[in-house]
Structures are given as structure tokens and as C-alpha cells.
Amino acid sequence: MPLKDIASFKISRLEILDEQGQVDKDLEPDLSKDELLELYRHMVWARVTDERMLKLQRQGRIGTFGPSTGQEAAHIAPMFAATDKDWFVGAFREHGARLMRGEKLLRHLVYYNGFEEGNVNAPDSSQRNLPVSVIVGAQPLHAVGLAYAMRMKGEPETAALAFMGDGATSEGDFHEALNFAAVWNLPVVFVVQNNQWAISVPRSKQTKAATFAQKAVAYEMPGIQVDGNDVLAMYEATREALERGRSGGGPTLIEAVTYRLMMHTTADDQYKYRSKEEEEVWWKRDPLVRFRKYLEEKGFWDDAAQASLDEELKARMDEQVAAFEAQTDFPPETPFDHVFGTRHDVIEEQKAAFLDELRKEAGDA
Amino acid sequence: MPKLNMVQAINLALDEAMAADENVLVLGEDVGVDGGVFRVTDGLHAKYGEARVIDTPLAESGIIGTSIGMAMAGLRPVGEMQFSGFSYLMIPQLEGHAARMRSRTQGQFTVPLVMRLPYGGGVRALEHHSESREVYYAHTPGVKVVIPSGPRNARALMRAAIDDPDPVVYMEPKRSYRAFKEEVPESNEPVEIGKAEIVQEGTDITVVAWGAMMHTTKKAVAEVESARGASVELIDLLTISPLDGNAIADSVRKTGRLAIVQEAPRSFGAASEIIAVVNDKALMYLEASVQRVTGYDVVTPYFGRELHYMPTVGRARRGIEQALDF
């Protein structure tokens, strides 16, 4: 008997705002002037904090961190399309989205200076932000569990947005997350920030697939490739995915095609494995530049507005950095208080011994 | 004899093994063009090509799982887990297959692979980059676990690990990677996995350490010797499993006292096992309770606090003194 075709697929790519800032009017999302300007501010704030943190790291005032410069549209726009009730489940290169979600820069500085206090949401907040996940590809499964719990708890319209990189798609957990989300038909949006490099490993060595978006096909969920440096396309793709998920349409996989303009982390030297010329090509696709052009074209933005924003953000940053440097209250014994939620002699005895050793160390010095 | 740091010494061992046997290959995340995030495999990609120095997709289970297949078919894979904190994703394959293939098939299929795990604290790194979890692997029958303490034994142990007929977890103390250099002989000095090394002989007390703690412990021993003229027998464990209990017991029979310095959390650590072995083999020779200087049973704190949680020279010295003064 002849072979019959029983399944086929196609993957679409969404672009709305091109590199020159020209918009496709038919696809332009319905965002007000205020909303557009707010979104732009969050992106600029992410960029300038990235630059300052890089300086602080080089001065030894914070430790290793992974800059997100170039990827602002890919992670900020999706969370802009979400609500505060939706869950943000990040990896480690979404600090712009985190800041937009109410995490203070001060917190990030504390985190990158080596203190768990930097992971703690404000005590009075109902922030639905999970902490940084350094283990690559682990967190998408958590997003699936969160969405399941929301449905059980009477919030079936609440979604979870999970972020990961191109490298994460090679981990088993990534595939398990997609499969569980589809089988359970949950409102989860998986955003793969395909920034072309997993440290030194190029996209071409990470997967043979023509797109990351098509990995959705095997799990029977919509997958779409989006110009990840196009803030309007990222917003629109996520809005649509959320709408579908909230109305019972299940999960979506969004591949954001973007680029890590800086090193993997400050411990990395990217010129060991890629060229400055390659980076130059992507600097021309800078998501901030094209968004600003778009705003200028609409008459919403000009040099004076930019200068005023730059000044305001610099003042805010100086204030946060000063607050960070003034913070010194990090008791050494705190980790003992957070091992378990119940008291146990093993921990208490070790804590006492630890404090005793600290006193002896002080005596030694 | 050239003076090398530990990164260079492991690189030398890999280079030598690859030159000597075309079945030896290296695989992992960023081990090729980048030469590994710590540069341990630097230059090997250029020298041996991408078929033998493989930049894998980002999947720890994939790295060890494919290594198991390679090893069963006659290759000698040396895989890298970028940081030991990511190595837990290899446990299902290690525990489920690498460790037991020999037993399962009564020796018909064997898995001579090496997994390299940079581990340990003190390098101001992010979460999951600083813990010391050798016992996860040591508790798996069928797996050998080795930890060098310096460039010279790092080279020799890597050569032995690659030659070993069974899976070897080779843990690299990051804090010692570039901390000091040693003379490494031109030709390899064979060492036997499963044997501890008596670094110096002594008669008053036995002190055992491994990995980055050897460096700390040596300083503590020197302080005790100069402060009170004690004669210390210092043992570098080198292999965590199978443990060289006889070397330790023999030493304790001579000295009657024992102190152990361990970076890992206190409970269920290698130090506990050493005490159990001494209890089995040399209890009646002990003149003092054994002193353990260890990490604590807390989740490894971020780097802002980590140094408080690692045994210091002072803590190691006080532990040794307590055993002496008991």
C-alpha cells in the first residue's frame, strides 16, 4: 500500500516593526501612547542598568552576571502583555522584565553581590515572580505546575510565562514541560529567547531543526517564530498566546529570534568563539533603536524627551546603587534559619557551633 | 620538570591520553572552540579536531548517556559537567546504567568513562557553582570517585581515570585550579585509584583531607607543628570511593589520633565514613575521639557568605589541636 501523508506542519514568522522602525499598519498592536511610552521606559531602564552593572562588576563591586543587552524586546514585551496575576518564570537573562515586574534594582545588586536577600520579593507584595533559575531548562516545568495549581485554585484564566534560552531546548526538562503543558491543556507561554549562542555553542550545533518554534509541533501546540528584537511583534505574539491560553486553548511556544550583544556572563570572553563583525550586524538590529524611531515617527518622542528620561533614570540608578552600598546587614548565620521550615537539633547545634567558630576566627584575626 | 597549575596539568593529561590512544575523546558544553569555561580543554579542539573534541548540545544527561554508549563500544570518553552543580542531571544515567552495566551483564559490557566535575567553593561564583557533593557519587556502587589536590596528582589521577576499566567521577577543586603551581614530571607517574597518599609521615596524630581542603590543611598542620612541635602524619585521600580505609587505619594504629577536614556538609560525608572505617579497623588504638572539621548542613550560601561556611586554616588547626589535647 502506498505511504499516506498523515501529518504536516508549517511555521510562521511574525514581524511588525522593521529595523528602520517602519511599522506594518495591518499588524500594529492596539497600544495607547501611554502604554507605548511605558514599555519604552522599561526597555531603556533595562539597558542602562545593564550598562551600570557591567561597570560595577568590572570595579569588583558586584560578582558575575549575565547582561541582557539586545534582548530587551524579547523578554520585556511578553511580560508587558501579561498581567500582575500571571506568573513570571525566568531563567537568568530577563532582568528587564524583573524590574518591570516590581523588583528593585537594589535587589538585583544584592543578588549579584552574593546574597540570597536579593531573591526576596517585598514582604507586602503579591509578586508572582519566581527567582532566577541558573540550572538551564529546569524552570519551564515549574511554570506548568503553577498554571495547573491556578486552575485548581479557581484562577483558570491565570497564565504562566516561562523564559529560557536556545540552549535550554536541548535539555530533557524542556521537552517534558512542553508535553505536560499540552497534555494538561494549560495556559502556559513558553518563550525561547534564541540569542544564537549558548555560551560558545552556536545555534547550528544546538539543533538541526530549522526553527525552535517547530519544536511545538510534536507536542500539538501552536509554535511561532517572532523577530525577537521587534517589541511590537513580541507583544502581539504573546497577547495572542495569552488570549488563547486563557480561553482554554492550551500552551504556546514562542521563539524570539534575538541576539546576546554582550558576553555570556562577565566571566566569559565572547571573542574566543565569535567575531566583532558578527556583533556589529546585530547592533544594527538593536530593539531600542527601532522602537524609538517608531515612537518618533508617531510624534510621541524626541531628543528632549530622551534627555529628560536619561537624566531621570540616572538619578534613580544612583539612588539605588547608593542604597546598595549602604546595605551591610547580612548576618553570617542567616542560612541556618532557612534550611527547613521546622526546627531540628542538627541545625541548631551546628548553628551554635558555627557562631562559636566565628568568635574564635575573630579572636584569631 | 615544568611548573604547572592544576588547569594546565589536567590539560596535559588529556593531551597525553589523546595522543597515546585515538579512542580517547572529550565531550561537553563549551569544551571545544572555547576550551571549556575554565580552559581545561584549551587547545585540544585545534589539535585533535571536532570528532574527538565535541561541543555537545546543552544536556548533561545527553553527555553521559552517549558516553555510556561510546564506552561500551570501545571508546574512552572524557565528559565534562560544566559545574558539578549541573551534574545532578547526569545521575539517572550514572546510577541507572554506567554504574551497573558491568554487574548487570557480569562483565560482558563495561563502561570505562570519565566524568569531570569542577566543584567546590571559594571562587565568588553564582548559585550551583560552589558546592561539594562527592558523596552523591561515592554512594553509588560501581562508580569510582577521585579528587586531586594539586597539579601533580591531578595529572597522574586523570591518566589513571582514563585507563580505568570502570566509570570514574573526577572532581576538580576549582579553588585550586590556579591557586598554585607544582613541578609536574615530564613522563607520567602512575598512581593507583583507590589508594590514599601519605603526604608526610608523623607519630602524634593522623590528619586526613582531600581536594581544596588539602591546601588549607597543610597550612594548619604547619601551624600545629611549629606552635607545639607535634609530629603530624598527613594523608591525602585522593580517592573518595573505593576508600583506602587500610591506609588510614594503619596510620591511626601508629598515631592513636585522627582529625579530618572536609569541605562538604557535615552529615553523611566522607569524614563520617572514615570514622566508621576506623571504628571497624582500629578502634582500640584511638586515644581521642576523632575530630571532624567540615562544612555545615545548609544549602551552600551565595558567595557573600560562603567563606564563613568553608573550613578555614584556623578551624582546621583547632580541630587538630582538639584531637591532640583530648
φ and ψ of A282, to 5 deg:
-80, -30
> How far apart, in whole angstroms, are the C-alpha atoms of residue B91 and residue B100?
13
pLDDT digits (tens, 9 = 90+) for B173-232: 999 999 999 999 999 999 999 999 999 999 999 999 999 999 999 999 999 999 999 999
Task: State whether B84 and B177 are in the same domain.
Answer: yes
Task: State whether B109 and B221 are in the same domain.
Answer: no
Task: State whether B10 and B150 are in the same domain.
Answer: yes
Task: State whether B219 and B144 are in the same domain.
Answer: no
Of residues A128, A239, A244, A264, which has the active-site annotation?
Answer: A264
Task: State whether B203 and B103 are in the same domain.
Answer: no
φ and ψ of B322, to 5 deg:
-60, -40
> Is residue B189, in this structure, part of any structural domain at all?
no
Decide if B124 and A64 are in contact by the 8 Å CB cutoff. Answer: yes
CATH class of the domain at A12-330: alpha beta
What distance in Å separates residue A294's CA from the closest CA in chain B? 37
> Is residue B191, in this structure, part of any structural domain at all?
no
First to last CA, chain A: 85
- Per-residue pLDDT band for A364 (boundaries 50, 70, 90) equals confident
Identify the pLDDT of residue A126.
79
Residue A123 pLDDT greater than 80, yes or no: no
The pLDDT of B311-321, averaged and rounded, is 97
> Is residue B64, in this structure, part of any structural domain at all?
yes
CATH number of the domain that residue B255 is part of: 3.40.50.920
Decide if A170 and B89 are in contact by the 8 Å CB cutoff. Answer: no
Task: State whether B55 and B89 are in the same domain.
Answer: yes
Decide if A167 and B308 are in contact by the 8 Å CB cutoff. Answer: no
Give whole-number Cα distances, A329 to A352, B101, B305, in Å: 20, 52, 12
Task: State whether B157 and B302 are in the same domain.
Answer: no
Instruction: Give the total number of structural domains in chain B.
Output: 2
Residue A365 pLDDT greater than 70, yes or no: no
Which residues have C-beta within 8 Å of that of residue A348, sequence separation ≥ 6?
Answer: none
Task: State whether B159 and B71 are in the same domain.
Answer: yes
The pLDDT of A112-129, averaged and rounded, is 88
CATH number of the domain that residue B153 is part of: 3.40.50.970
Task: State whether B165 and B242 are in the same domain.
Answer: no
For the question of residue A260 being annotated catalytic, the response is yes
> How far apart, in whole angstroms, are the C-alpha atoms of residue B63 and residue B58?
8
Q: Is A338 helix (H, G, I), strand (E, B) or coil?
A: helix
Task: State whether B122 and B226 are in the same domain.
Answer: no
pTM value is: 0.96
Whether ipTM tops 0.85, in short, is: yes
Domain span including residue B213: 197-325
Decide if A200 and B30 are in contact by the 8 Å CB cutoff. Answer: yes
Of residues B97, B128, B129, B139, which has the active-site annotation?
Answer: B129
Domain endpoint, select from B150, B183, B216 = B183
> How far apart, in whole angstroms, are the C-alpha atoms of residue A285 and residue A281?
7
- Per-residue pLDDT band for B1 (boundaries 50, 70, 90) equals confident
Task: State whether B203 and B175 are in the same domain.
Answer: no
Q: Which of B37, B86, B303 sits opposite A63 (nearest CB)?
A: B303
pLDDT digits (tens, 9 = 90+) for A273-305: 999 999 999 999 999 999 999 999 999 999 999
Task: State whether B145 and B293 are in the same domain.
Answer: no
Q: Which of A116, A201, A334 sits opposite B29 (nearest CB)?
A: A201
For the question of residue B129 being annotated catalytic, the response is yes
Minimum Cα–Cα distance from A328: chain B residue: B304
> Is residue B118, in this structure, part of any structural domain at all?
yes
Q: How many beta carbons lie within 10 A of that of residue B59, not counting itself? A: 24
> Is residue B192, in this structure, part of any structural domain at all?
no
